[in-house]
Structure 1
Amino acid sequence: MAIASSRSAATGLLIGCVIFGLGSLIVAHVDIGGWAMAFWRLAISGVVFAVLAKMTGQRLPRSKRAVFYGLLSGAFLGLDLALWHESIYAVGPGISTLLNSLQIFFLAAIGFLYFNERQSILQLVSLVLAMLGVAMIGSPEFAQNKAATWGFITGIVSGAMLAASMTFIRKTHDTEPTPIFMLMQLISIGGGLAMIVPMFVFDMGNILPNSWSDIGWILIYGTVMQCLAWGLIAYSIPKLSLALTGLLLLTEPVAALVIDYTWLDKPINTLQWSGALLTMFAIYLGSLKPKPRALRRYRFFARFYKRDYK
């Protein structure tokens, strides 16, 4: 029975990560600005989570500080999504998703600076390997792509914004435990509001979808990628070992790289493939530590899901 449950969880986590990888394909396909795309994703998911919170009777936390931290987490998530979208436009879904996955190292830095978490030798080695891997990916890209600098900057900074978002999710929960649907509603509201001004500044004239097809893809992006994939990941992680979790989470950048290479015909040479593999190996090593704080991107949601629905 336990084996069957573990296999089911592994399958759910794998599907969730692949869905996230497919999300980058939607971003590349729909002709909307990166900031606007982030706004629509969060706005749509906010409606979905509001309905789910209402159906399950979940309420806002009483602490105003917890509400503020939830909204602030959403603002950072909006920045993460918008910058990730910009990176997708510049260097493609594969490389941008891989760069965004470097958020593990930003989480480790935040843990070291603000939460007094010690870093192991293995984590320091993984950071060096990740830097080497990114250099291997970047050297050919800079030679053939004029937008490479912007793509790498936005991709890496998006990982930092995601780490900040996860940090404020932790502070929200530490202030007052918040049910997952209500938490995700707060995050969606905070992120959507934070995107309004930059959306009109940077994406003016490219905010609204141009066809019914684009509307459909945006709806899928906001519901399937932001809601369904999170649900699968949150359900699956508590049932798996840390090592297997870290390995399966790497299917997200792998899926994005394969999509980029096969469907979007992006040229990726042997050096870049080697750098991608090295970077993913470094990310995997960075996720292996006694307490799974480096995987807080997903484990935050797993904790709330496990507590509310066990």
Structure 2
Amino acid sequence: MIAGAGCLSFSAIVVKLADVNAGTAAFLRCALALIALVPLAVRECRRHGRFEPWLVWCALTAGALLGLDYVMWTASVLDVGAGISTVLINVQVVIFPALARIFGGTPIRRRFLLTCPVMLAGIVLVGGALSHDPNAQHQVRGTLLGLAAGAAYAGYLYLNRLSGQRSPRHVVTPVCVATASAAAVAGLIGAATTGISLDLPVASWSWLVVLALVGQVAAFLLMAAAIPRLAPNTSASLLLLQPVLAVALGMIVVSETPAASQLVGCAVVVAAVWFAGRAPVMTAGGRGTTTTPPAPARRPA
């Protein structure tokens, strides 16, 4: 999961460097990724058998959400900057566990509920409500798109986890099916809104290939292998490495200069979700402490 988050952290920067519109980036990152994913999925199905039909529909739905996520998130990158948009999308850290609770019965700790207002306050700061970011073109629109993208992303994570739990031998196949569905949705939305351009310079194509291989194939295969083995709270918390790295990369690689209040917002969001994800562990005296990850229980003497 940590490796997957690391791969994802480069995505926002690569979108900037590719210098293409939102629809083009969202569609091509998925379409180019299929060149690598399809042969791997065919090989996997030959080794482990067919992917269950209802899981195919599950992956198609997940991919549709991912396609919506990509279009909205890429537009958010262009509106508010690479690092900030990547922080906004991590509203999934609350929505993903909530979905697991509502549809899967996975318990959600009170600590999560108590820190939600703090995290939302941090998101307001991240969106630039108290300051002007010289790199941002449309702060309000970019903030709303980033939050909506995070909700769609959480839906993808939940469905991908469900698929991995029901068919643990199929890791590549659900990612491949979801990526194909995401390409279709992103293509339709992109063509109707920003348009999709294939007449791109060599440099743009090169960055899009990097985006497809690192930010799509590598990132989502690593995540697909990890998510079924982790609690939703743990997965969501580990994915917070993504915005932390993305903010730093945005400042270093593309010279973004977030306002001080936005950096404070980033810190508030990360700290609040980290606190919410800490698991209470009972000591020998019966007192509750917190640690991450939970320590293994000791056998009574």
How many pairs are equivalent? 277
C-alpha displacement at 1:121, in angstroms?
2.0
Q: How does 1:173-212 map to 2 (within 5 A)?
A: 173=164, 179-204=170-195, 206-212=196-202
Match of 2:83?
Answer: 94
Using a 3 Å threshold, how does the CA distance of structure 1 residues 60 and 211 change in structure 2: closer, same or farther? farther
Using a 3 Å threshold, how does the CA distance of structure 1 residues 240 and 193 change in structure 2: closer, same or farther? closer
Find out whether 1:229 has 2:219 as its counterpart: yes
Give, in whole Å, the separation in 1 of the partners of 2:248 and 2:96: 27
Asked if the contact 2:115/2:276 (under 8 Å) is kept, the reply is yes
Structure 2, unpaired ranges of 5+: 281-301
**SS of 1:268's equivalent?**
coil
> Alpha-carbon deviations, 1:59-79, whole Å to 9, x = none?
674532221111111111111
* Alignment counterpart, residue 243 of structure 2, candidates 247, 253, 257: 253
Q: How does 1:59-208 map to 2 (within 5 A)?
A: 61=50, 63-137=52-126, 138-141=128-131, 145=136, 147-173=138-164, 179-204=170-195, 206-208=196-198
Greater shift in the superposed pair: 131-140 or 187-196: 131-140
Match of 2:42?
Answer: 54
Asked if the contact 2:26/2:186 (under 8 Å) is kept, the reply is yes
Give, in whole Å, the separation in 1 of the partners of 2:48 and 2:275: 38
User: Which amino acid in 2 is paired with 1:249?
Assistant: L
Give, in whole Å, the separation in 1 of the partners of 2:82 and 2:191: 24
* Alignment counterpart, residue 257 of structure 2, candidates 257, 267, 278: 267
Greater shift in the superposed pair: 14-23 or 158-167: 14-23
Using a 3 Å threshold, how does the CA distance of structure 1 residues 191 and 104 change in structure 2: closer, same or farther? same
Give, in whole Å, the separation in 2 of the partners of 1:64 and 1:245: 27
TM-score, scaled relative to structure 1: 0.78
Find out whether 1:280 has 2:265 as its counterpart: no
Match of 2:297?
Answer: none
**Percentage of identical aligned residues:** 21
Cα RMSD after superposing both structures: 3.0
Structure 1, unpaired ranges of 5+: 1-12, 291-310
C-alpha displacement at 1:276, in angstroms?
0.7
User: Which amino acid in 1 is paired with 2:99?
Assistant: I
Give, in whole Å, the separation in 1 of the partners of 2:169 and 2:176: 11
> Alpha-carbon deviations, 1:18-57, whole Å to 9, x = none?
3322221111122322122111111122221111123343
Match of 1:10?
Answer: none
Using a 3 Å threshold, how does the CA distance of structure 1 residues 180 and 157 change in structure 2: closer, same or farther? same
C-alpha displacement at 1:136, in angstroms?
2.3
Using a 3 Å threshold, how does the CA distance of structure 1 residues 84 and 216 change in structure 2: closer, same or farther? same
Give, in whole Å, the separation in 2 of the partners of 1:236 and 1:118: 19
Using a 3 Å threshold, how does the CA distance of structure 1 residues 164 and 248 change in structure 2: closer, same or farther? closer
User: Which amino acid in 2 is paired with 1:104?
Assistant: V
Greater Rg over alpha carbons, structure: 2
Greater shift in the superposed pair: 266-275 or 99-108: 266-275
User: Which amino acid in 1 is paired with 2:141?
Assistant: W
Match of 1:39?
Answer: 27
* Alignment counterpart, residue 217 of structure 1, candidates 207, 216, 225: 207
Asked if the contact 1:17/1:252 (under 8 Å) is kept, the reply is yes
Greater shift in the superposed pair: 132-141 or 23-32: 132-141
Using a 3 Å threshold, how does the CA distance of structure 1 residues 82 and 282 change in structure 2: closer, same or farther? same
Question: Structure 1 or 2: larger helix share?
Answer: 1
**SS of 1:214's equivalent?**
helix
Match of 1:9?
Answer: none
TM-score, scaled relative to structure 2: 0.80
Asked if the contact 2:119/2:273 (under 8 Å) is kept, the reply is yes
**SS of 1:32's equivalent?**
coil
